[in-house]
Every structure is written in structure tokens, then in C-alpha cells.
Amino acid sequence: CTDTIFGALSKATVAMTDALAKVPDVEIDPEGTFKYILVRVKVKDGDVHKDIVRGTKSAEYHNHIFDKVSPALEALGMECKCLGGGKIEHNSQEKKLRVFGESTGFGKADHSVSAEKLKSAYSDYDISWSDDKK
């Protein structure tokens, strides 16, 4: 009987890990300067997690991005925690991304982590980051 419980449990964990793997690392606007957040997404009741970058011009405040991202991922059985924020300057013409600034509400994200995530999605881009405010 115990094997059945653990078997079902591990199948659920594998399914959740697969669901987590399907969550895109990066979703940002295709152009402009906008707010972004770095979010840790974790499988509920599990140790498996990954960090994702989300950014959009439509967000007046950083928490607007989190308020949109979090419920969608929680519906998939994930837990979300905002690790901080800043701004991204996206120049698609020159293939450049610049990560900088901070979030008043969430604090400064680790821009080096965000830049690495961006590199995985925009491998042909010149990506830079700094702790400068502007």
C-alpha cells in the first residue's frame, strides 16, 4: 500500500516538475524601457524551483506584474515569490538589453541573475546590467 502512495506522489511531483519546466524563463515586451521583476517559482510542497523574468510597459508599478503572474502560476500548483525588480531597456533594432534600477516595493532584483535568464532567451543580444538607478 505504501508503494502505491509514494508512486502516486512521485508521479504528481514529476508532473509538477514538468509543468515548471514549461514555464518560460523570460516574458518581456519586444521594445522600450519598462519595469521588470525576478520571480522564484516553486513546485508547491516541493524543493524544485526556478527563477523567471517578467517585464512590461503596461505595468505602472512592479506589483502589477506580480499580481498578473502569480495567480496564473498558482493555478498550475506553483508558489511564487518576488525576489525584486528593476527596469529593462529593450532595443530590438540594435539587439541590446540593459538591466538596471530597482523596485520601491520589492527592492532590487539580482540583476546578474536576470541578465543570465535574458541571455538564455536572447542569445544573439548584447546584454548588460548595472546597479545604476537610471
The answer to the question of whether 57 is labelled as a binding residue is: no
Rounded to whole angstroms, the Cα distance separating 30 from 49 reads 26
How long a stretch of residues is the chain?
Answer: 134
Instruction: Report the b/e string of 34-73 with b at 16+ CB within 10 A.
Output: bbbbbbebbbeeeeeeebbbbbbeebeebbebbeebbeeb
The reported pLDDT for the residue numbered 134 is 86
The reported pLDDT for the residue numbered 10 is 63
Instruction: Catalogue the active-site residues.
Output: 62
Rounded to whole angstroms, the Cα distance separating 39 from 68 reads 12
36-88 pLDDT tens trace: 999 999 988 888 899 999 999 999 999 999 999 999 999 988 999 999 999 99
What are the domain boundaries of the chain?
Answer: 2-129
9-41 pLDDT tens trace: 566 667 777 889 999 999 999 999 999 999 999
DSSP 3-state of 16: helix
- Model confidence, pTM: 0.90
Class of domain 2-129: alpha beta
